[in-house]
Amino acid sequence: MSIIVRACLPEDVSAMAEIAEARRVRYEAFEPLFWKKAQDSLEMSRAFFAHLIGQSDTLCLVAEADEQTIGFLIATTARVPPVVAPGTTAMVDDFCVAKPDRWGEVGPLLLDAARATLRENGFAQIVVVCGFKDIEKTAFLESQDLSLASTWWTAPA
C-alpha cells in the first residue's frame, strides 16, 4: 500500500475531523478534565479545519492510502514569549493518525514533509503537542529526534 502526502483540500475536512474526534475520545480517557470533549466537538473540528485550509499562515497536510485519509498534520505560526528568541516557530497542535499503531509508518511522512516546507518558509523550530499518556505518538516523536521541552500539569481549581 502506497502512502501519499499532499496539501489538504476542503473535501478532506470530514475525514480529518473524524480522525481528530477518535483521538479526542482517547485523550479524554487519559485525562478527563483537561481533555474533556465538548458535546459538539466533531462539528467544531469540521468548521475549524475548513477555516484553516488555505490560510496563508497555515500548513495543512494529509496522508492517504487507497484514497482513504490515514493521517493529517496542521502547523500554524506560534507566538513565543518575548523573553526567548528561538526564531520563527511552528506549532503542530493537530497531528493525528487514524490508528495509533501506524505512527511509525504514517507519522514520519507527514512530519518530514512539514519540516521541509517549514524550513523553506524560514521557520527555525517546530513544537509538537502530544498528550502525556499517548505512548505511541510519544515513541514516534522520540524516534524523530524531537526533544521534550515542557509538560503541563492539571487539577480541578
Tens digit of each residue's pLDDT (9 = 90 or more) over 34-82: 999 999 999 999 999 999 998 999 999 999 999 999 999 999 999 999 9
DSSP 37-58: PPTTHHHHHHHHHHHHTT-TTE
Tens digit of each residue's pLDDT (9 = 90 or more) over 3-22: 999 999 999 999 999 999 99
Cα–Cα distance, 70 to 102 (Å, whole number): 9
Those residues whose C-beta lies under 8 Å from the C-beta of residue 112, and which sit 6 or more positions away, are: none
Rounded to two decimals, the pTM is 0.95
